[in-house]
């Protein structure tokens, strides 16, 4: 519609060399303009499968609930989603607990500190933490918010859910856990960069490999891979979405990566604090690295 209006208001049809087309366009423009009193809302429309669907959409199982969702930041943009149309006013505290627990478990599974240390940092027992992560009990609102802040998850502005925003240091404990946490922090693979850093001069860390990655508009995260592990052996394959491979960086930056990861691993509350400071120091450096890769 916006493109159409631009052509009409700019009278681009007058630029056409065909006089017959110009004449017809002029007659059409002379017709009286009629406004529509009622506007159909896509969110109220039913839908029917047909040729208008793309090839992958036609494979969606039939006879299931579907609804239109209005994009929050793109006016006039609607997505067709499966499931019931959730009203945020209908979401209970139990629903928020469950959604928070699902995202928290993904990060705790790869956090460089033990669950007991994380629990102690927010003033609960390890049993309470594990029961919460497994959906067996709720946490008081204050402790739930403290856990969310510690891990770097927050209520989503787009869906009734939580988003993992980082920044943080994680350890690749297993291929599946690593892949899931990476996908969460990379916003489904929507990355500015994802590289294993190596020093331009000198010898790399003999114990760990370091992958620095960032979703668009966010500070970098670091995934630590233990050399010789089965997870690390899969690093060059399909383990990490849109992974760009090895990149050499100045030795001073490489040493900072190693040092920051070591310090983040000493206490749960230091992780995001130190990674935020690291990100502010090198955000533009890694952004430029990602730009060079894609160009």
Per-residue pLDDT tens for 175-215?
999 999 999 998 888 889 999 999 999 999 999 999 999 99
- Four-residue CA torsion sign, 136, 100, 261, 244: positive
* CA distances for 276 relative to 10, 220, 290, angstroms: 48, 8, 19
Average the pLDDT over each of 39-48, 120-129, 132-141, 226-235 and give the range with the smallest value. Answer: 39-48
pLDDT range class, residue 3, cuts 50, 70, 90 = very low
Residue identified by tokens 């402790």 is: 143
Cα separation, 74 vs 204, in Å, equals: 45
Residue 51, number of CB atoms within 10 A of its CB: 5
Cα separation, 116 vs 80, in Å, equals: 42
**Cα 119 vs. chain centroid, distance in angstroms?**
26
Where do the H-state alpha helices sit in the chain?
A: 2-9, 19-30, 93-108, 115-121, 126-133, 141-151, 175-185, 230-233, 251-264, 270-294
**195: Cβ–Cβ under 8 A, 6 or more apart, which residues?**
211, 212, 213, 243, 244, 245, 246, 247, 286, 289, 290, 293
What is the per-residue pLDDT for 36?
56
Between 77 and 13, the more confident residue is: 77
What is the per-residue pLDDT for 63?
58
Q: Is the pLDDT of residue 167 over 60?
A: yes
pLDDT range class, residue 1, cuts 50, 70, 90 = very low
Between 285 and 59, the more confident residue is: 285
């Amino acid at each position: 519609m916006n493109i159409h209006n631009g052509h009409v208001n700019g009278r681009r049809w007058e630029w056409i060399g065909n006089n017959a087309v110009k004449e017809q366009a002029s007659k059409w423009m002379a017709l009286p303009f009629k406004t529509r009193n009622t506007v159909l809302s896509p969110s109220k429309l039913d839908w029917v499968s047909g040729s208008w669907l793309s090839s992958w959409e036609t494979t969606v199982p039939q006879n299931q609930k579907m609804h239109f969702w209005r994009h929050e930041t793109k006016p006039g943009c609607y997505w067709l989603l499966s499931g019931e149309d959730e009203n945020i006013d209908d979401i209970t505290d139990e629903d928020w607990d469950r959604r928070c627990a699902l995202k928290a478990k993904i990060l705790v599974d790869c956090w460089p500190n033990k669950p007991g240390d994380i629990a102690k940092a927010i003033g609960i027992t390890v049993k309470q933490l594990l029961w919460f992560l497994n959906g067996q009990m709720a946490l008081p609102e204050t402790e739930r918010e403290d856990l969310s802040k510690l891990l770097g998850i927050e209520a989503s502005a787009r869906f009734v859910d939580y988003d993992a925003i980082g920044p943080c240091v994680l350890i690749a404990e297993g291929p599946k856990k690593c892949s899931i946490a990476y996908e969460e922090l990379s916003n489904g693979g929507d990355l500015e960069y994802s590289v294993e850093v190596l020093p331009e001069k000198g010898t790399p860390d003999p114990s760990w490999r370091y992958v620095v990655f960032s979703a668009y508009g966010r500070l970098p995260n670091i995934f630590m891979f233990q050399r010789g592990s089965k997870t690390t052996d899969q690093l060059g394959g399909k383990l990490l979405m849109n992974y760009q491979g090895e990149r050499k960086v100045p030795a001073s930056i490489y040493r900072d990566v190693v040092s920051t990861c070591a310090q983040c691993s000493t206490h749960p509350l230091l992780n995001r604090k130190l990674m935020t400071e690291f990100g502010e120091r090198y955000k533009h450096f890694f952004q430029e690295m990602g730009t060079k890769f894609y160009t």
